[in-house]
């Protein structure tokens, strides 16, 4: 897996960024084939939990990181869903 090439806000270590990337990839697999409405509800709950767990960051940054995380999960799930038919 490629290293994250971003300028991280203070408090967001490279290790945490790499963990979020790995977790987004793993979680995306869970949502393959899931009904969109159920996925959106679950991702909303995940976003809220992630934001709460990032309480060591300023609130606006924690919110942005949590939103970016669920966006990454949803987009990766969509990519995997699209590839599913081609991997047979």
Inter-residue contact 84 to 32 (CB < 8 Å): yes
User: For residue 87, what pLDDT band results from cuts at 50, 70 and 90?
Assistant: very low
The answer to whether position 37 is within a domain reads yes
pLDDT in tens, 28-51: 999 998 898 999 999 999 999 999
CA–CA separation, 28 vs 79, rounded Å? 9
pLDDT of residue 88: 37
CB 75 within 8 A of CB 21: no
Residue 38 lies in a domain: yes
When divided into structural domains, the chain yields a total of 1
pLDDT at 9: 64
Residue 1 has pLDDT above 90, yes or no: no
Specify the DSSP class assigned to residue 6.
S
pLDDT at 29: 93
Is 22 inside a domain boundary? no
24 in any annotated domain:
no
Report yes or no on 78 lying in a domain: yes
Instruction: Say if 25 falls within a structural domain.
Output: no
Token look-up 């270590």 returns 13
pLDDT for the residue 12 = 73
Residue 81's domain comprises: 33-88
Condensed to tens digits (0 to 9), the pLDDT of residues 72-86 reads 999 999 999 887 654
Q: Does position 3 have pLDDT exceeding 60, yes or no?
A: no
């Amino acid at each position: 897996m490629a290293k994250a090439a971003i300028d991280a806000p203070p408090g967001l270590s490279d290790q945490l960024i790499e963990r979020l990337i790995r977790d987004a990839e793993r979680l995306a697999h869970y949502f393959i084939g899931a009904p969109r409405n159920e996925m959106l509800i679950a991702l909303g709950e995940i976003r809220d939990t992630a934001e709460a767990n990032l309480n060591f960051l300023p609130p606006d940054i924690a919110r942005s990181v949590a939103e970016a995380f669920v966006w990454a999960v949803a987009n990766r799930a969509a990519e995997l869903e699209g590839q599913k038919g081609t991997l047979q």
